[in-house]
Chain A
């Protein structure tokens, strides 16, 4: 019986990966057919992406959103917080590894400490004691590590069921999901329950944004642009270059940095990236260009 279970597990894991690869391959196939006349430089796959976005919205409307609404109503906030903390804690090891891979030893060690502290004092991660102790939560994944290593993000790409990504992040998604402790459980029914809970929990956090999104001129484009902005922000650890132009006819259109000198801004940014430096205290300088 045990071997049978094991075999089922292995097969289930394999079939998960295989199904994922097939989905991606299918998506790539469809999008090559739709890639005509690219208008937005970030979104050459717009035809495919819009179709997949509609599909994902259908799934959300029919299944995920009602579950998330029920979950929000039925489960007390305190319990939901605990559930969120457990998932967050499981992810901290992978976040730490990625920080180490990006050369940020201080942040990486802090993430591993978080996991150690929260798994023990935080009772299996239910309580986020580490944040109170001054070990802040970070946001890292393999896609961001690749970005730091110089891999471009590629086109915007809506993944079936999972939603907005870039091609770079979609390719490493199976690895990221494993790293997050999402699909490495051996017991298949348990794994599926954990996965489903995680999806529903995550969706419940987004319920408050639904109405604002519905009121946009074009929900697809709004979500795409917000995702790409947020993603670049994560890759730059909160300090992406921002440019504010002046389009008034009388604008002189000269570009000058916000900080006294450009070198200042660069030096501050460099300090912020140094290892063993707590980002929250250094407050690294963003590179902001203002056109007057």
Chain B
């Protein structure tokens, strides 16, 4: 659990996307995103001072375009996803997106000179799902394994899970989400996510 979320965020953060990112090779995609994010982290003074809005901007621009948000939301919600209407699914995707942006952005502002090492990709020709393994190395601490799960849709690879030291960022929400659905149905979960999102946005405004 040590530094888990931080590492996650860092790693996630490192999954940045830019126009020049090669999307047809999963390992190169992750590498390019990581390097883009690290580049932003190192050069952006505002980020270093804990400016979350700068972090949000980078995450939305670089990283999240390469995430399969529908797949991620589905995995976070679990089997209740099947019972959601198309409209409910879209609202779940939107509010989950906001939550991911927040989590990653927070992680980025905690950047403390970590570096990322890549392990060789193990992949068979024809695989449509692949795990790209990286390690976040922090000065003086033990390296934290961060794995990206990617799936190929058409030609492009997209990330659908980030596993930090064994904790899947996506399926870890399942327990919480199931609890909300038991209490108030799918609409209850949507309400809870949306309310929490606006609460946090308000708190952030109050601070700045």
A-side residues, CB < 8 A to B, are 39-40, 42, 77-78, 80-81, 84-85, 88, 137, 164, 202, 205-206, 208-209, 211-213, 215-218, 221-222, 224-227, 229-230, 232-234, 238, 240, 242, 244-249, 258-260, 283, 285-286, 288, 290
What's the least CB distance linking A195 to chain B, in Å? 18
Interface check B131, CB cutoff 8 A:
yes
- What is the interface size of chain B, counting residues whose CB is below 8 A from a CB of the partner? 57
B176 touches A216 (CB 8 A): yes
Contact of B140 among A77, A227, A246 (CB under 8 A): A77
Instruction: Give the shortest distance, in Å, between A124 (CB) and chain B (any CB).
Output: 16
- Is B154 close to A, CB under 8 A? no
Interface membership of chain B positions 169-208, coded 1 if the CB is closer than 8 angstroms to chain A and 0 otherwise = 0011111111110100000000011001000100000000
Q: What residue of chain B has the Cβ atom nearest to residue A232's Cβ?
A: B166
Distance in Å: Cβ of A159 to nearest Cβ of chain B: 14
| A–B Cβ pairs within 8 angstroms, 27 of them | A39-B179, A40-B175, A77-B139, A81-B139, A205-B2, A205-B3, A206-B3, A208-B5, A209-B6, A212-B103, A213-B5, A215-B102, A215-B106, A217-B177, A218-B176, A225-B175, A226-B1, A226-B172, A230-B167, A238-B166, A242-B168, A244-B160, A247-B81, A247-B82, A258-B130, A286-B131, A288-B131
Give chain A residues whose Cβ lies under 8 Å from the Cβ of B176: 216-218, 221-222, 225
Which of A77, A217, A222, A258 has most B Cβ within 10 Å? A217
Which among B16-24, B56-64, B116-124 touches the partner chain?
A: B116-124
Residues of B within 8 A of A222 (CB): 172-173, 175-176
Contacts of B29 in A (CB 8 A): none
Residues of B within 8 A of A286 (CB): 131
Within the complex, what minimum Cβ distance (angstroms) separates B29 from chain A? 18
User: Which A residues are CB-close (under 8 A) to B196?
Assistant: 215, 217
Task: Report whether B172 and A225 are in contact in the complex, using a CB–CB cutoff of 8 Å.
Answer: yes
* Chain B residues in 8 Å Cβ range of A211: 106
Distance (whole angstroms) from the CB of A25 to the closest CB of chain B: 26
Taking the closest CB of chain A, its distance from the CB of B187, in whole angstroms, is 15
Q: Which of A202, A246, A249, A283 contacts B2 (CB 8 A)?
A: A202
Beyond A211-B106, A245-B79, 15 extra complex contacts between A and B, CB < 8 Å? A39-B179, A40-B179, A205-B141, A208-B3, A215-B99, A215-B106, A218-B176, A221-B176, A227-B1, A233-B166, A233-B167, A240-B166, A244-B160, A247-B82, A288-B131
Q: Are A244 and B140 in contact (CB under 8 A)?
A: no
In the complex the two chains form, is A226's CB within 8 Å of B4's CB? yes
Asked if B9 is at the interface (CB within 8 A of a chain A CB), the reply is yes
Q: How far is the CA of A220 from the CA of B171 in the complex (A)?
A: 16
**What CA separation (Å) do A205 and B81 show in the bound complex?**
36
Pick the residue among A40, A85, A232, A283 that contacts B122 (CB under 8 A).
Answer: A283
In Å, the complex CA distance between A10 and B203 comes to 52
Chain A residue numbers with a CB within 8 Å of B174 are 225
**Is B27 interfacial (CB-CB < 8 Å)?**
no
Contact B2 A221 (CB under 8 A): no
Which residues of chain A come closer than 8 Å to B107, judged between CB atoms?
208, 212
Contact A230 B165, CB 8 Å, known A206-B3, A209-B6, A247-B81: yes
9 shortest A-B CB distances, which residue pairs?
A: A233-B166, A81-B140, A209-B5, A208-B6, A208-B110, A247-B81, A225-B175, A221-B176, A212-B5
Distance in Å: Cβ of B134 to nearest Cβ of chain A: 13
Please name the residue on chain B nearest to A264 by beta carbon: B124
Q: Residue of A at shortest CB range from B104?
A: A212
Closest CB of chain B to A75's CB: distance in Å? 12
